[in-house]
Structure 1
Amino acid sequence: MSEKKVKVGVVGAMGRMGQSIIQTILTQDDKANGARLEFFTASDVANHPGVGKECYPATRVTLNASSESVFEQSDVVIDFTPPGNTVVHAKYAEKHGASYIVGTTGLGDEDHQVLDQIGQAVCVVQAGNFSLGVNLMTAFSKKMAAVLGPEWDIEILEMHHKHKVDAPSGTAMMIGEAAAAGRGVNLKETAVKSRDGITGERQVGDIGFATLRGGSVIGEHEIIFASDNERLTLSHRAENRGLFAAGAVRAARWAAEQSKGRFSMMDVLGLSDFGV
C-alpha cells in the first residue's frame, strides 16, 4: 500500500450519504491499494445546527458552513449534494486544484459541460451510481443491447424512496445511456420517459423508462430485453447506502493518483472498454 496520505473533504456532510462516506473513510481497509485517505474537513448548509461542532463521532473535524473552504483545504472532495450546487462546487475544485468526486444525480447539460471543462484542469469522477454491482450491470447492458439488436424492446424500471426528487434516477439514465451506446443511437432521441392515455404502439428502437417512488427503498433497478419469443432481465437492489459510500471512497483513492481528466466509475473499475 502507498504511504501517501490524501486529505479528503466531504460537502453535505450531515446528510445520509455524507455520514456514510465519512464512516467509510474512517473505517477503510488498511490493505486497500492506493493512497491512504484522511478525513480532513467537511461542510453543510449555513443554518445546520451542527455548524461549528464536531461533525462525526470520534473525530476532531469541525463542520463549517463554507463549501469553498472544503475545496481549498482538500486534495479530494466528495459531493453527493443536490444538483443546484454542482456548477459552483466544480468551479471551486478548479480554482483550488482539488480532485472532485460527484455522486449527485439529476444533473443537467450545464452541469456536464462545466464538469467537462474543469476536467481539463483537475480529476473529475462523476457517476449516476458508485456501486460495483450497478456498474457491472451497466456494462452488461451495453453488451446485451449491441448483441440483441433493435428488434428487442428495452424497458428500464427503477424504484426509490418517497423523498427522492429527480426522475428517472441517475442510475436508470446511466443504464439507458449504456444500452443506447450498445445500439449506436442517441438516448435523447430514443428515450420514452412517460406513457399516459392513448399512446399508440411502441416504436421500434424505443428505450422505455418507468419510475416508482415509495417508502424507504434505497434503490432498485431493472433492465428488460423483450422479444416476441423470450425475455432477458438484469436487476440490482441496494441493501444499504454503504455500497455507494464504498464506491465513492474507492473513486477518491483512484482519483488521488490521476492528474486531470473527466472520468466515470467505469474508469475506476477498469470497465470502460468492456464488451463493445
Structure 2
Amino acid sequence: MSAMKIAVAGASGRMGKMLVETILAADDASLVGALDVAQSPAIGSDPGVTLGKETGVKIESDLALGLAQAEYFIDFTRPEGTLHHLEYCAQHGIKMIIGTTGFDDAGKAAIAKAAEKTAIVFAPNMSVGVNVTMKLLEMAAKSFSHGYDIEIVEAHHRHKVDAPSGTALKMGEVIADAIGRDLNEVGVFAREGVTGERDPSSIGFATIRGGDIVGDHTVLFAGIGERVEITHKSSSRVTYAHGSLRAARFLADKKTGLYDMYDVLGLR
C-alpha cells in the first residue's frame, strides 16, 4: 500500500506543526503540501525546519501549489479559510479531514454539499478519547435524563477564538439527542444577575479561557445527594493529529460522503 499523500493547512501554527510532525513520523503517510495565509512569515519555508528536518516541501499560500500532489488535506484553521479550501478540494477530488470549529449552519451545509463530490471526515474533535467520551455521555444521559441537572464546563488556551468550544457543543448535542431534547431550545450559554431558578430541562455551558490549556471538558450530572462527572483532558495536540491520520486511513476506500469520528472508530 502506497503512502497517503497529505497536505496540511495552517502549517506554521500550533496544530499545523503537530500535524506535520505526526505525518513525518507515520510509516503510511507522506507530507506533500503545506499551506498558510499569505501574510504568514513562514511562506516559502520548509514546514519541517522547526523539527530539524528537511521535507522538501515549501509552505505556500496558493492552493494550486500547496495541493498539487495531495490526495488528503487536513484542515484545523478557521471557518472562512476552511470553506475556501473546501471548494477547491471538492472540485479536484481531494479528500478532507476537517477539525475546524465555529461553523454556522450555512457552513455546515456547504461541507455536506461538498461531500457529494469528495470524501470528508468532519468532526469538532479528532481525539479518539474525546469521541469515546461522547459515546459514554450518550449512555449516561439516558439514565440521568430525570432528576439530574446537566452542565458542561470547558477550558482552553487564551488564543482560542470561539466559545463554547466545538467539542462542548457536540457534547451538548449528543446529550440532548439521547434524551429527546433540542439543544437550540434548552442550551444556556450565559448566566448573569438574578437568573431565577434553574430550568430542569436546560443544559448549561461554562467557558474558561487561559494560559496554554490544550482542552479540558467536563460534563456534570448533578442530582440530589450525588453527582457524576465525566471528564476528558488533553495534555497535547498530538491526540488530534493521531485521530486525523486515523480519519485519513478510513477515507482510503471512500470517494464521496460525509463522515465523522463515530464512523472512523466504529462507534455507531
Task: Calculate the TM-score normalised by the size of structure 1.
Answer: 0.92
Distance in 2 (CA, whole Å) between partners of 1:112 and 1:222 is 25
Equivalent of residue 21 in structure 2, options 14, 20, 23: 23
Equivalent of residue 262 in structure 2, options 262, 266, 273: 266
What is the match of residue 213 of structure 1? 209
Distance in 2 (CA, whole Å) between partners of 1:233 and 1:68 is 47
Could you say what secondary structure the match of 2:11 adopts?
Answer: coil
Task: Calculate the TM-score normalised by the size of structure 2.
Answer: 0.95
Q: CA deviation at 1:151?
A: 2.6
Contact 1:11 1:70 in 2 (8 A): no
What is the match of residue 255 of structure 1? 251
Find out whether 1:10 has 2:8 as its counterpart.
yes
Equivalent of residue 118 in structure 2, options 122, 134, 137: 122
Contact 1:129 1:135 in 2 (8 A): yes
Q: CA deviation at 1:65?
A: 1.2
1:116-265 to 2 correspondence within 5 Å? 116-265=112-261
Distance in 2 (CA, whole Å) between partners of 1:232 and 1:67 is 47
Runs of 4+ in 1 over 4 A off after TM superposition: none
Contact 2:59 2:66 in 1 (8 A): no
Distance in 2 (CA, whole Å) between partners of 1:67 and 1:152 is 49
Could you say what secondary structure the match of 2:221 adopts?
Answer: strand
Which amino acid is the alignment partner of residue 51 of structure 1? Answer: I
Deviations 1:69-100 (A, max 9, x none): 43443111000111221221111111110111
Could you say what secondary structure the match of 2:195 adopts?
Answer: coil
Distance in 2 (CA, whole Å) between partners of 1:69 and 1:195 is 48
Deviations 1:4-56 (A, max 9, x none): 3321111111111111001101112x4xxxxx221101111112222222221
Could you say what secondary structure the match of 1:243 adopts?
Answer: helix
What is the match of residue 58 of structure 1? 54
Contact 1:68 1:89 in 2 (8 A): no
Q: CA deviation at 1:68?
A: 4.4
Q: CA deviation at 1:103?
A: 0.7
Distance in 1 (CA, whole Å) between partners of 2:107 and 2:172 is 19
What is the match of residue 97 of structure 1? 93
Identity %: 40
Relative distance call for 1:115 and 1:150 in structure 2 (3 A) is farther
Gaps of 5+ in 2: none
Pairwise CA RMSD: 1.3
Could you say what secondary structure the match of 2:84 adopts?
Answer: helix
Find out whether 1:48 has 2:40 as its counterpart.
yes
Could you say what secondary structure the match of 1:256 adopts?
Answer: helix
Distance in 1 (CA, whole Å) between partners of 2:55 and 2:82 is 27
Contact 1:176 1:187 in 2 (8 A): yes
Contact 2:91 2:117 in 1 (8 A): no
Deviations 1:198-251 (A, max 9, x none): 111111210100001111111110001111132111001111111111111111
Kindly tell me the number of residue pairs found equivalent between the two proteins. Answer: 264
Please say which of residues 118-127 and 164-173 is displaced more in the overlay: 118-127
Contact 1:142 1:182 in 2 (8 A): yes
Gaps of 5+ in 1: 31-35
Contact 2:149 2:203 in 1 (8 A): yes
